[in-house]
Amino acid sequence: MTGTPPPYVPGHGLLAGRDAVVTAAAGAGIGGATARRLLEEGARVVVSDAHARRLKESEAELAAEFGADRVAALPCDVTDETQVAALFDLAVERHGRLDIVVNNAGLGGTADLVDMADEQWDKVLDVTLNGTFRCTRAALRRMKEAGAGGVVVNNASVIGWRAQKGQAHYAAAKAGVMALTRCAALEAAEYGVRVNAVSPSLAMHPHLVKVTTPELLEELTSREAFGRYAEPWEVANVIVFLASGYSSYLTGEVLSVSSQHP
């Protein structure tokens, strides 16, 4: 039946004993859903976010459910290289290894090019593309040094493929994330690390509601074959697949998580 989300998929221990970092993991969006799904699959997780208060609340909730020994948190602004380095150092110090990195941090907005200021363009690119670059670089440096392989999953968007009015900065950033993913994958394959990305169309969460008009949300939802938006955990399930051994031969791929038709 269209319009109705499917039942939640329980964990199957796909990531037991693995250690992960998830950026922009506070709250009810894709990052928060991904942190939860990784924990449900048996991983230990370091969560980060630029919003310290929301991050502390998320850490407390996850630690209460999955155990304090499996959850750690550190605020991180991905536009700050010092903070990025501190996040990945914490992950290695906490668990002694780094197996999975999910780069979820991103920033959107709506503005036509003729009205867009340099500052608007720069901010979206710095968080969404440059932030993914900084975190990918930090992850690969540590994974290469450890010599034990690893997985990086980046969060792109179908807007990186498809045009949408008012989204030039975000579309350019997400297209850049896709290109970064492919290039990083070729380099990282030499030391056994896989780099892939997900490309969601429309996953509903509170932040999206705040920055998108009801009319646009209705229009975007109408394009989806299932007649509904994705639940954040449905995107997180695909991230779990890419982080697991079930995708062992995939690298440099961008998987569309979408039921959207042209």
Q: Scanning the structure block, which residue is given the tokens 């720069």?
A: 122
Tokens of 102: 């999910």
Angle of CA points 225, 228, 231, to nearest 5°: 120
What is the distance between the alpha carbons of residues 161 and 134, in angstroms, rounded to a whole number? 23
Q: Scanning the structure block, which residue is given the tokens 């690119």?
A: 125
Beta strand ranges found along 79-238 (DSSP E): 100-103, 150-155, 193-200
CA 228 to each of CA 11, 33, 99, 202, 208: distance values in angstroms, whole numbers, following the listed order = 24, 18, 34, 9, 15
What is the distance between the alpha carbons of residues 129 and 177, in angstroms, rounded to a whole number? 6
Residues carrying an active site annotation: 170
257's enclosing H/E stretch is strand 254-257
Nearest to 128 by CA among 156, 166, 163, 88: 156
